[in-house]
Amino acid sequence: MTVKLEDARRIIAAAEAKADEIGQPMNIAVVDAGGNLVAHVRQDGAWIGSVDISISKAWTSRAFDITTKDLGDNAQPTQQFFGIHTTNGGKVAIFAGGIPLSRDGVVVGAVGVSGGSGEQDHSVAEAGAAAF
């Protein structure tokens, strides 16, 4: 079980609809069970610095089977995972916008969103994940 291109397109379409609704252009990325990119889109006007971040958020959520929001809470100074953001060649994102995608309780991929506030990114990722 993994995420196929057809799934990724459905997830991205749902995330784009949510981004349009809140009026904030976004980068949206989807990775499969192995953490490898399946698809990415940057909506017109979305930050170019967020291309990489959206992909990193998706990768991170699959790599640790956790939302990047929750990982971030554990990655603050004095918390148990502080420092994790510099591991894995800097590919670990520790702020909101990445959400794992599951089938039957098993994480089989993830979606990552970047382009607005942490709250906006997370809500757009949720809309995407709900379409899986």
Distance CA 127, CA 119 (A): 12
Residue whose pair of structure tokens reads 């990325």 in the numeric block: 29
**Which residues does 53 contact at the CB level (< 8 Å), separation at least 6?**
27, 93, 97, 112, 114
The CB-of-24 to a copy of itself minimum distance in angstroms stands at 12
Residue with smaller CB distance to a copy of itself, 19 or 129: 19
The CB-of-57 to a copy of itself minimum distance in angstroms stands at 9
The CB-of-7 to a copy of itself minimum distance in angstroms stands at 10
Neighbours of 15 (CB within 10 A): 31
Residue with smaller CB distance to a copy of itself, 16 or 129: 16
Task: Enter the tokens of residue 5.
Answer: 């291109």
Residue with smaller CB distance to a copy of itself, 38 or 113: 38
* Cα angle 111, 101, 55; round to 5: 20
- Strand 106-114 to strand 27-31: parallel, antiparallel, or no bridges (unpaired)? antiparallel
Segment holding 47, helix H or strand E: none
Residues that bind a copy of itself (CB under 8 A): 4-6, 8, 32-44, 47-53, 56, 59-60, 62-65, 72, 75-78, 80-90, 92-96, 117-119
Residue with smaller CB distance to a copy of itself, 36 or 130: 36
Task: Enter the tokens of residue 106.
Answer: 């098993």
Residue with smaller CB distance to a copy of itself, 17 or 83: 83
The CB-of-33 to a copy of itself minimum distance in angstroms stands at 6
The CB-of-103 to a copy of itself minimum distance in angstroms stands at 15
